[in-house]
Amino acid sequence: MSPRSPRRRIDPDAKPRGGRYGWSPATLATTRGEDTDIEREVGEIVNALREGGPMTRRELRRSVDSRFWGPGRFPDALWLARRRGLVRREGGKFAAGD
């Protein structure tokens, strides 16, 4: 310990004090605009099922190459397609709606 820095006692019950490491950037509020890609993604899912027949979720993901859509895009598009009746479940597979 150097002679210039006195030893500080640490109180475990003390509140944390602000210091030079207490800064954080302000949070940014963002709003989501209209999602125009979702219609294309739903269409790709429906077309893949019409052309390829019933598929598991994994097969369908690969068929539409959803890894390039972005995080969370495939489940959202599949949910919307099912909600609209364009896709239905058949056991453990998805099929094009009637």
Reported as a single tens digit per residue, the pLDDT across 32-81 is: 677 778 999 999 999 999 999 999 999 999 999 999 999 999 999 999 99
pLDDT (0 to 100) of residue 72: 92
Enumerate domains of the chain plus CATH numbers: 37-96 (1.10.10)
| Cα(14)–Cα(27) distance, integer angstroms | 28
pLDDT (0 to 100) of residue 15: 59
User: Which class for 38: exposed (0-12), middle (13-18), buried (19 or more C-beta within 10 A)?
Assistant: middle
Reported as a single tens digit per residue, the pLDDT across 23-43 is: 567 776 666 677 778 999 999
pLDDT (0 to 100) of residue 55: 97
- Full DSSP string of 12-24: TTSPPPP-TT---
CB–CB of 90/54 below 8 Å? Answer: yes
Backbone angles phi, psi at 3, to 5 degrees: -70, -15
Q: Which two tokens stand for residue 84?
A: 């609209």
6 pLDDT higher than 70: no
Q: In sequence order, which residues have a C-beta less than 8 Å from that of residue 79 and are 6 or more positions away?
A: none
pLDDT (0 to 100) of residue 35: 76
Q: What is the DSSP letter of 90?
A: E
93 pLDDT higher than 90: yes
